[in-house]
Amino acid sequence: MKPRYSARPTRKKTSAVLSPATWWASLPVGSRRSTKSGRARSVAVSRRSLSRSLGRLALGSALGIVALTVLLVLPLRWLPPLTTSFMLQNWLGQKSLSADVGYDWVPRERISRPAALAVLAAEDQKFFRHSGFDFDSIRKVWSGNGQGRPVRGASTISQQVAKNLWLWPGRSWLRKGLEAWFTLWVERLWPKERILEMYLNVAQFGPQLFGVEVAARQYFRKPAAALNEPEAALLAAILPNPRQFRVSNPSRYTRRRQQWVQHHARRLEKELPPARWQPAR
């Protein structure tokens, strides 16, 4: 007789690869907790690393902006600017780029006291008593019409220097913010006499005319050192809008403003003692 063989059941081979859910369920509870804490530590470390990187980037950017500002502002404490932002824009806005822009730098020893006093009277009577911003005038401007809208300008000479040297015309918040930034550094790095000297040399006194020296020679056929009180007051009277007001053919309004400037310039004599501004003889 043939031996009988009993059929043995065959076992199915299980896959050695576990699904994530099966693998996680197979871990002891302690291992699960340690894995979770490890992941949490990894996320926390990543976040701290990102925060440090962003902090370094922000600090580097801030230091770079400060360094660039100082490089733009500090040398002009001693050196005259070759040109200004407003001069370049004026030149580019001409019909013919071959036309010259009048600009001739002169030190304060070659600018008359009446010219300096007239500009102070017309533009910034508190110049030697503020740190770049006249907050009283700003409040008056914003409350002038009862609606919070400005009705006249309140820019100080320091602000106008910052705007003329590095910025552009306009009333946008970006330009105002940059103007305030540069004004702070101008006030910190330059003495007041230098700021006034700079303004007298870069302010616009007519079409293509920048600086009191060019204006004095153009309108009165004399250097800035020889300007008298009425002449200096007339030049300062057109500063709010040299494109509209004229020295060569002044309107009644310009004449009235000239008299007003001359009157207030005499009141400001004590603000500018000879030790601060004494032209060479």
The confidence score (pLDDT) of residue 30 equals 58
The confidence score (pLDDT) of residue 78 equals 97
Q: Both tokens of residue 239?
A: 């500063």
User: How many whole angstroms from its chain centre is CA 190?
Assistant: 15
The confidence score (pLDDT) of residue 21 equals 58
Round to whole Å and give the CA distance between 221 and 209: 14
37-53 per-position pLDDT tens digit: 666 677 777 777 777 88
In 10 A of CB 271, how many CB atoms?
18
The confidence score (pLDDT) of residue 96 equals 62
**Residue numbers in the chain where pLDDT is lower than 70:** 1-40, 95-99, 144-153, 281
The confidence score (pLDDT) of residue 150 equals 42
The confidence score (pLDDT) of residue 151 equals 44
123-167 per-position pLDDT tens digit: 999 999 999 999 888 888 777 644 544 444 689 999 999 999 999
The confidence score (pLDDT) of residue 184 equals 98
The domain ranges of the chain are: 36-79, 84-271
Contact criterion met (CB below 8 Å) for 103 and 87: yes
The confidence score (pLDDT) of residue 174 equals 94
The confidence score (pLDDT) of residue 23 equals 54
The confidence score (pLDDT) of residue 148 equals 46
CATH number of this structure's domain 84-271, picked from the four choices 1.10.569.10, 1.20.58.100, 3.50.30.30, 1.10.3810.10: 1.10.3810.10
DSSP letter string, 30-98: HHHHHHHHHHHHHHHHHHHHHHHHHHHHHHHHHHHHHHHHHHHHGGGGTSPPS--HHHHHHHHTSS-TT
Q: 102-103 and 204-206 as β-strands: parallel, antiparallel, unpaired?
A: unpaired
